[in-house]
Amino acid sequence: MRNKKNKIINILAVFVAVILVVLMSSAARSVRINITDTSAPLLKSFHSFFGLIGKLTPFAALKEENRILRDRVGLLTRLAEETKAINDDNARLRNLLDFRKMIPYTSIPAQVIGRDPSNWSNSLIIDKGSSSGIKTNMAVISTRGLVGRIIETGKLSSKALLITDPDLKVGVLIRRNRQGGILTGSPGGRCKIIYISLDSDARPGDKVMTAGFGSVFPKGILIGEIEKVGRDQGRLYKYAILKPSQDLSRLEEVLCIIR
């Protein structure tokens, strides 16, 4: 009887143990489910973040590549501009040398390297001096016309007074009617021709050239074009305002004439 009772107790104990295991498994699953539900938004955020990082990585590489390409485009643009400047310089120098071969007098080419800071608009400095054969009172010209004359020389550089300076005087002829006058500098980058005969028919558009008087300026060098003709009250001659054929503010190369 006792054995039967012990057997029943053992069966009940096993049954209870199974039920407890089942209950514990269910509770654990519920806990896991609750934990999973609670952490799901956070896990989803991490998943989205790392997914976005994975997507952005190629874009970061593309951004760096674009930066490199922009730098290369900038470099090529700068090189193109520098090449164009060199080509422009070469073209001007070839033009100057061709012009030098055409003119009927010997000349020395020079580059403009500065302007006198005490008299900015009316004089300039060239890179040739006495060691290159430059002397005072040499006429200075460009491919477009008369520029001025040398007034100071150093061993390696010289100073030229421009035709727009009031201290520079040049004998001139109006090409169309061969009438003469004296050219001097005038404010505003212009020149003034004085002592034009009262009966002269000088008019705007007339070309003016050097008359060749004296030993400084050869005859026939173009100076510019008349813009206005007038007469001052009480004067016995007319005057004319002349625009130089050469823009003296943009001058880079010149020829110094040897006479």
Q: What is the pLDDT of residues 106-139, one digit of tens each?
A: 999 999 999 876 655 689 999 999 999 999 999 9
pLDDT tens profile 38-79: 655 655 565 565 555 555 555 556 666 777 777 777 767 766
Q: What is the DSSP letter of 70?
A: H
Question: Would you say residue 223 lies in a domain?
Answer: yes
Percentage, residues of the chain above pLDDT 90: 49
| 161 vs 29, more confident | 161
Distances, alpha carbon 13 to alpha carbons 6, 9, 24, 39, 88, in Å: 10, 6, 16, 38, 108
| 136 vs 6, more confident | 136
Contact 200, 172 (CB under 8 A): no
Contacts of 112 (CB under 8 A, 6+ apart): 124, 125, 126, 127, 251, 252, 253, 254
Question: Would you say residue 150 lies in a domain?
Answer: yes
Question: Would you say residue 90 lies in a domain?
Answer: no
Residue 17, pLDDT above cutoff 90: no
Q: Which domain holds residue 181?
A: 107-259
Contacts of 9 (CB under 8 A, 6+ apart): none
Question: Would you say residue 36 lies in a domain?
Answer: no
Mean pLDDT of 4-13: 52
| 40 vs 163, more confident | 163
Using DSSP bridges, classify how beta strands 190-196 and 238-244 pair: parallel, antiparallel or unpaired. Answer: antiparallel
Question: Would you say residue 224 lies in a domain?
Answer: yes
Residue 27, pLDDT above cutoff 80: no
Contact 158, 150 (CB under 8 A): yes
Residue 20, pLDDT above cutoff 50: no
Residue 180, pLDDT above cutoff 80: yes
Within 10 Å of residue 211's Cβ, how many Cβ atoms?
Answer: 20
Mean pLDDT of 144-148: 95
Is the C-alpha dihedral spanning 72, 77, 83, 86 positive or negative? negative
In which band, very low, low, confident or very high, does the pLDDT at 169 lie, cut at 50, 70 and 90? Answer: very high
Question: Would you say residue 53 lies in a domain?
Answer: no
The secondary structure of 135-175 as a DSSP string is -TT-EEE-SSSEEEEEEEE-SS-EEEEETTSTT-EEEEEET
Residue 52 is predicted with a pLDDT of 54
pTM score, two decimals? 0.66
**Which two tokens mark 113?**
């390297």
Picking from 199, 175, 195, the residue whose alpha carbon sits closest to that of residue 184 is 195
- At 218, which CATH number? 2.40.10.340
Only one residue has tokens 């460009």, namely: 142
pLDDT tens profile 192-219: 999 999 999 999 999 999 999 888 999 9
How many domains are contained in the chain? Answer: 1
Residue 102 is predicted with a pLDDT of 82
Question: Would you say residue 55 lies in a domain?
Answer: no
In which band, very low, low, confident or very high, does the pLDDT at 21 lie, cut at 50, 70 and 90? Answer: very low
Mean pLDDT of 154-165: 95
